Structure 1
Amino acid sequence: MTAVAIALLASDFITKQIALTHFSGTDPTSTLGGLLKFTLVFNSGGAFSIGAGETWFFTTVKMLVIVLMLVVSPRIRTPLWAVSFGLVIAGAAGNLIDRLFRDPSPWEGRVVDWIQLPHWPVFNLADCGVVCGSALVMWASMRGIRLDGTRATEEPAEPDATERTAEVKNP
């Protein structure tokens, strides 16, 4: 989980810096015959620019999601859940960093978006992480795969020796 989160967070930061240096909102860079454009946009709203002007709300929600996932993450015992949590945490953190440290002010900063596909809003790698990680969470949940790797129809795995010791000491 940590490796996935660090890799995505670093990639998001680096690509946003490249976008700020090389791309423009008024003169998009087109590639792949126009299928993919690089357009610099500063988004004060959520996904698809929903809730523009309510930046403080998205900042708070991202912080809560990250904290909740970090609290739950020690229960993860399968790569599927580790990857999905790593993607969502890094995606939320990448955009949270923008909200906290970019203009116009802390807690109200705008997210740097720069990838544009036809008929689709401009987005960034952090957005990709949130979407892909969330899709994995939904897929695992629909398949009944628990955080510990067991299926919803199976009994949960026995706690390891350290967990059993902790349970005995803290009745």
Structure 2
Amino acid sequence: MSDTPGPVPDAPRPAEEPTATVPTDAAAAAGTSANPRRRLVTFLVVLAAVTLVLDQATKAWALATLDEGVRHPVLGDLLGIQLLFNPGAALGLATGTTWLLTLVAVVVVVVIVRVSRRLGSRGWALALGLLLGGALGNLTDRLIRDPGFARGHVIDFIAYADWFVGNVADIAIVVAAGLLMILSLRGVRLDGTREGADDPAEDAEAEAEADGAADGARRDG
């Protein structure tokens, strides 16, 4: 007999710890949904900034060019240029409560900034961008113009017939209000979904339950 030792059996390998599965589909879906929302928020901010700059630039032009109260016709009696200092709201309403209008404008700005986190609709981004820019335009006047902080008079110079005199910020606010009305009538929500449409989260949950039931049936079979 040979004294050569036989092959030594391999030592048992330690059991591998189960690795945690990363929900790649869910992570990818979250990243995909975050990117469009980020673009919409960026669009909203840029639009608001452009509206604010345009509003303040035209007001600076009106201050440097026009004499207060003197009307310059543009389209006859329908449209003109006339510099006015408005202590109230549009149409001369709420005169003498400038501080309250300032507070309302601040609240509008804060609300828009907060709800923009759930933004998922291009229409809502357009409307809220115009509304934010218009609110900031008139709010700037109330904060920095005479007679004092939070009581400043808004500079108006676009005269519409004999109805009222407004500015670029007012135009942005009116257009935004019209867009918001249209979106509401069409049932478009802030996140881009529509009223009466199936909830995507509920659809995903139902689909997962259906897949689980199908797997169970295959195992039973």
Give the CA deviation at 1:35. 2.9
Residue by residue over 1:30-54, the C-alpha shift from the partner in whole angstroms, topping out at 9 and shown as x without a partner, is 2233432110000000111111010
Alignment of 1:25-40 (within 5 A): 25-40=68-83
Contact 1:36 1:116 in 2 (8 A): yes
Pick from 111, 123, 128: which aligns with 2:171? Answer: 128
Shift of the 148–157 alpha-carbon distance from structure 1 to 2, 3 Å rule, reads farther
| Separation in 1, partners of 2:199, 2:164 | 42
* Aligned with residue 144 of structure 2, among 101, 109, 123: 101
Aligned to 2:66: 23
Tell me how far 1:6 sits from its aligned partner.
Answer: 1.2
TM-score of the superposition, structure 2-length normalised?
0.69
Secondary structure in 2 aligned to 1:37? Answer: strand
Which whole-Å CA distance do the structure 2 matches of 1:66 and 1:90 have between them?
Answer: 9
Cα deviation for residue 26 of structure 1 reads: 3.0
Regions of 4+ moved over 6 Å: none
2-side partners of 1:142 and 1:13: how far apart? 33
* Corresponding residue number in structure 2 for 1:56: 99
Unaligned 5+ segments in structure 2 are 1-43, 202-221
Q: Which amino acid aligns with 1:3?
A: V
Measured against aligned partners, the alpha-carbon deviations of 1:73-117 in whole angstroms (never above 9, x if no partner) come to 121112100010001111011000000000000010000000012
Q: Number of paired residues?
A: 158
Residue 43 of structure 1, aligned match among 55, 64, 86: 86
More displaced, 32-41 or 50-59? 32-41
- How far apart are residue 155 of structure 1 and its match? 3.0
Residue 8 of structure 1 aligns with which residue?
A: 51
| Structure 2 CA distance for aligned equivalents of residues 153 and 106 of structure 1 | 47
Q: CA distance change for structure 1 residues 13 and 155 in 2, over 3 Å: closer, same or farther?
A: same
Contact 1:59–1:99, Cα closer than 8 Å, also in 2:
yes
What is the distance in 1 between the residues matched to 2:92 and 2:192? 36
Residue 162 (structure 1) aligns with? none
Q: CA contact under 8 A between 1:148 and 1:157: conserved in structure 2?
A: no
Partners in 1 of 2:173 and 2:78 — Cα distance? 23
After superposition, the Cα gap between the structure-2 partners of 1:72 and 1:30, relative to the gap in structure 1 and judged at 3 Å, is same
| Rounded Cα–Cα distance in structure 2 between residues aligned with 1:13 and 1:155 | 44
Q: Which runs of 5+ in 1 are unaligned?
A: 159-171
Give identity over the alignment, percent: 39
- Counterpart CA distance in 1 for 2:173 and 2:163 is 16
User: Which position in structure 1 is the counterpart of 2:186?
Assistant: 143
1:166 maps to none
Bigger shift: residues 51-60 or 132-141: 132-141
| TM-score of the two chains, using structure 1 as the length reference | 0.88
The answer to whether residue 198 in structure 2 is matched with residue 155 in structure 1 is: yes
What is the CA-CA distance between 1:156 and the residue it aligns to? 4.1
- The range that moved more, 107-116 or 31-40, is 31-40
Q: Does 1:89 align with 2:165?
A: no
Deviation at 1:137, TM superposition (A): 0.9
Cα pair distance change 1:108/1:157, threshold 3 Å: farther
Distance 1:92 1:157, change over 3 A: farther
